[in-house]
Structure 1
Amino acid sequence: MIIPIMVYAGYLSFKNYSVNQITESEVIMQSFTAKLGQLSHFALSDGTQVWLNSGSTIRFPDKFVGDKRKVELEGEAYFDVVKNSGQPFLVKTNDLNIEVLGTSFNVSNYHNDSILEVVLVEGKVKLFSEYNNKEQTYGYLVPGRKAVYNKKERKVLAGKVDVDKYISWRDGVLIFRGDPMNQVVKRLSRWFNVDITIADPEIENYVYTATFSNETLSQVLYLLKVSAPINYKNVAPKVLANGELSKQKIILTKKEDKNTGDDKAISSPVQLVFFFAKEYGEILVIT
């Protein structure tokens, strides 16, 4: 089990150059990946702060030249962009581009997800894509809003959200607010670098509200077990052909005894009260 930790990489830059003194051919492209189960924080050459979530990769130049500051992202990152009206900041993905002057926002773009999410904390961002050398602009996002881009349909929907839920991960905190269990499992799997699967489809209908801060995987699984009719089974890692160990696998199943939702206090790092509403399949955890 790997518990997410923060890795501070400092300034990933070399020398200070004026933009008019260098050309793009002199730029050195770099790639930085946050290891599975770890969070990384560093600064780009212009001072822009970047937080990378577990298993995410960013590609960027050692110095920004040209009319835009371009970076490429796969995975999830939070950006606190230094303002430069003469050189907009551009986050490129395989599906959607996000352009800003100076602002703070979160982008979630894992390759195996069907959607891409952008949550704006402050400032203003432009959302657009490029197909066949043509630019399609979807609009502009304002603070407190989330844009969801459907990669297959190439459509964007936007709405107001609780921003903290989407950016708390950079502080080592996971927030769930009425999230379906399949989303909870996906985030926990990435967070702890494990493979959590749901064996009983009925469990997928549960929704979960909770805040986890510094809990271990064992503690989180225990909270899931005592707050709803859920059991879990640990499957030991296997030795792969290359000699490495596979991910730890955890299988969630439904308890036969459904009467497990009595409110009670438990011994844990946080004070929790549990409530299980059978008719709605809802798990409510109040912290």
Structure 2
Amino acid sequence: MTNRTDALQELLEDPRFIAWVTGNADDLEDYWNNWAADNLMRRETLDQARSLVKAIEGKPIPVSDTHIKRSVERALQEAKRQEIVQPPVIIRPLYQQWWAVAASVLLVIGLGWLAFTIQTPRSIYDQKVAQVNHTGRLIIEVRNDTRPIQHVQLPDGSSVLLQKNSRISFPQQFRPDKREVYLTGEAFFEVMKNPAQPFLVYADELVTKVLGTSFGIKAYANDPAITVVVKTGKVSVFTQSDRQFTHLDSSRTLTGLVLSPNEQVTYERKESRLTRVLVEKPTLLNIPIEKQLFIYQETPIATVFADLEKAYDVNIDFDADVMAQCSITATLGDDPLIQKLTWICKVLEASYELKDGRIIVSGKSCQ
């Protein structure tokens, strides 16, 4: 595979891949995860191909063989011409070019020239993402199938630590009035503060709404309950079946069941009941960041960077010799990673950049 377009085409032409995505070859789970594990392009292309297959579930596509062949040739030529390296898989509206590529290639490989229909029931998460996709908004999906945690930076700078076997979707650009993300699985959030633009997480039946805080959510589709725990700030939670859902969802204030730090709420699916309790330590996901306060007193910068690497599962490159005498005194708190780095660099008169999945800090001596 020489580039992303060729890799995408090969996946969509592989019957084993189609069988795995459509739930007819669970025994291939390890094969495909290993195939993409150590190669960023493969992982992103696999996510994109899987999303393309999922996106046309249950949609009739009546076309002729001749039309299919010509469409494939034209679409792939155009895709190769416009090919760019992108971050996590982008789910484009159905009428855009990538859908034409996916639908055509899938049909060419023999999945049916009259229709491609999958009978497997769709999860609440998939339904919500499909609804947003049909509005024409560009949706990005990130899924973590292999790593213990994966740091995801949202369009507003907020941080998400996505647990293994979890997925999150969000628009390429948030709406002016609110920030909406969709989760299935487990994740820890550090939300950029903006009272004028509430932040909402739709996790199956439950909605978590914040203005800027840190909290964890555990919401697997097959679990009997959904749990939210607050580390800092306040959040409100309510169900999508609540009679006041429209008001709760659109309001710029925290309404519904409001939680404070060290409080946890559990939604029991069977009883459709919310239960709030006080917890001594908000460690729902049992990851380092839930216990880290990021309080520093003349702390060597190497130690600070090591804390950030551990908490966010990222790599920070800096010249340890040049910055050996640098230290900071600060409380970085619950702000997202990007904000923490901005503050650190401002204090040290340094700068940083994100390159190839790494954070590169350029600074000078503090002697």
Q: What TM-score does the superposition give when structure 1 sets the normalisation length?
A: 0.49
**Greater RCO, 1 or 2 (C-alpha within 8 Å, sep 6+):** 1
More strand by share: 1
More helix by share: 2
Q: What TM-score does the superposition give when structure 2 sets the normalisation length?
A: 0.39
